[in-house]
Amino acid sequence: MKNLILFVIVLLLTGYCNVVGQTNLLNAKVPQEVGQRYEQAEANNIKPVEYGYVDDRDILWAKTIWEVIDLDERINFPYYYPSVNNGYLSSDRQSLFRVLMDNIQEGNITEVYETDYFNEKLTYDNLKVKLEDRKITEEARQKINSGVITEEELTEDDYDIYIIDSFKVVQYFIKGTWYFNKRLGELRYRLLGIAPGAQDVSTLSESSDDPDILPLFWVWFPDARETLNKHRVFNSKNSSKSITFDMMLNSRRFNSIIYKEENVYEDREVKEYIYEDALRQLIESDRIKSVIRDFEQDMWNN
């Protein structure tokens, strides 16, 4: 009898979650009103959780590392999909790359840089040049060579235009610092920067089975937190309990591989001292991860 009652309660709760998963669904007079509710909009405007001040004197140990998030892995899918912004899904359903680009264009994210050392700032116009490439078509090239037209007479139809969009971004590079806070007595992580990774736009016209994936630009993560906190990630297990990109990244809900750590050799990457051996590179990545993971445990064992 108790099992039956418990089963009925679970069914009722499940049905309730399915209803509230589509906010205002039963009250909407037009499709645009689905998901629109004043109370819910107020709840979604909550600011990201503040990091709090960390005194340099409280940092007993720290290590900065660089990691790569491969979007081919299922656990990392929420950062990739939806890969095409076709308007059929809710405005909240956007890929991380689309969120970054739209808000850089609107001026909500301003701390955008060329490198992971954040010393060369970029604007949206700079990014458009980096993410778009125009090449004269072969047919137009033949017309120019035969003297039919000149380059000044070329039109938009005479160019092949290559653009890096969401579906072209296959990795994310992140930079962060692990530190041991002696006041709290625990190891913590602080994400500093994030960069979408894709094939260089100038090589998109070339076919390659294994293209080089490079960081397109670096965003200073603390500047993007408020924006990322407004955009939610689809939860495949419970659509009524979505979380934001800011929560996902701060709680490290992704799988990644360490490809570089700060070191005396000008912060060289793992592949620069372990050549063309993917297995040994993975082992080295795990070794670096173990050093970080074991530090807190070793503090209490000594």
**pLDDT beyond 70 at 13:** no
Question: In this structure, what DSSP letter does residue 290 have?
Answer: H
**pLDDT beyond 80 at 301:** no
Whether 267 and 225 map to the same domain: the answer is yes
- pLDDT score at 218: 97
Q: What is the pLDDT of residues 52-92, one digit of tens each?
A: 889 999 999 999 999 999 999 999 999 998 887 655 555 56
Measured CA to CA, the distance from residue 101 to residue 107 in angstroms comes to 10
The reply to whether 151 falls in a domain is no
Whether 30 and 101 map to the same domain: the answer is no
Q: What is the pLDDT of residues 240-257, one digit of tens each?
A: 777 899 999 999 999 999
Whether 14 and 113 map to the same domain: the answer is no
Whether 132 and 200 map to the same domain: the answer is yes
Question: In this structure, what DSSP letter does residue 29 have?
Answer: S
Rounded to an integer, the average pLDDT of 176-191 is 93
Specify which of 160-169, 227-236, 282-291 reaches the highest per-range mean pLDDT: 282-291
**pLDDT beyond 70 at 27:** no
Whether 200 and 82 map to the same domain: the answer is yes
The 10 Å CB-count burial string (b at 16+, else e) for 96-121 is bbbbbbebbeeeebebbbbebebeee
Among residues 92, 91, 93, the alpha carbon closest in space to that of 82 is found at: 93
The reply to whether 157 falls in a domain is no
Whether 128 and 28 map to the same domain: the answer is no
Q: What is the pLDDT of residues 92-125, one digit of tens each?
A: 678 999 999 999 999 999 999 999 999 999 999 9
Residues 6 or more apart in contact with residue 139 via CB below 8 angstroms:
158
The reply to whether 145 falls in a domain is no
- pLDDT score at 239: 74
Q: Interior CA angle at 30 toward 24 and 34, to 5°?
A: 30
Specify which of 10-14, 47-51, 188-192 reaches the highest per-range mean pLDDT: 188-192
- pLDDT score at 30: 67
Q: Interior CA angle at 140 toward 136 and 144, to 5°?
A: 105
Whether 28 and 2 map to the same domain: the answer is yes
Average pLDDT, the chain: 83
The reply to whether 40 falls in a domain is yes
| Amino acid identity, position 187 | L
Measured CA to CA, the distance from residue 211 to residue 203 in angstroms comes to 9
Three-state DSSP class for 86?
Answer: coil
Whether 166 and 201 map to the same domain: the answer is yes
The reply to whether 148 falls in a domain is no
94 token code pair: 């956007």
Instruction: Measure Cα distances from 200 to 126, 196, 211 in Å.
Output: 15, 12, 9
Burial (CB count <10 Å: 0-12, 13-18, 19+), residue 7: exposed
**pLDDT beyond 70 at 11:** no
- pLDDT score at 35: 59
Q: Place 8 in a pLDDT band, splitting at 50, 70 and 90.
A: very low
Whether 24 and 88 map to the same domain: the answer is no
Q: What is the pLDDT of residues 207-222, one digit of tens each?
A: 777 788 999 999 999 9
Among residues 75, 82, 72, the alpha carbon closest in space to that of 254 is found at: 75
Share of the chain above pLDDT 90, in %: 50
Measured CA to CA, the distance from residue 219 to residue 197 in angstroms comes to 12
- pLDDT score at 47: 82
58 token code pair: 């409280």
Phi, then psi, of 64 in degrees rounded to 5 = -95, 135
Among residues 160, 155, 154, 163, the alpha carbon closest in space to that of 135 is found at: 160
- pLDDT score at 67: 97
Whether 180 and 297 map to the same domain: the answer is yes
Asked whether the beta carbons of 192 and 220 are under 8 A apart, the reply is yes
Q: Place 139 in a pLDDT band, splitting at 50, 70 and 90.
A: confident
C-alpha 188: how far from chain center? 21
Domain interval for residue 124: 55-136+162-301
- pLDDT score at 21: 44
Structure-model confidence comparison of residues 140 and 216, the more confident one: 216
The reply to whether 279 falls in a domain is yes
Measured CA to CA, the distance from residue 66 to residue 177 in angstroms comes to 9
The reply to whether 1 falls in a domain is yes
Whether 268 and 180 map to the same domain: the answer is yes
Measured CA to CA, the distance from residue 65 to residue 191 in angstroms comes to 10
Q: What is the pLDDT of residues 32-57, one digit of tens each?
A: 666 555 455 555 567 888 888 899 99
- pLDDT score at 16: 38
Whether 3 and 128 map to the same domain: the answer is no
What's the number of domains the chain is made of? 2
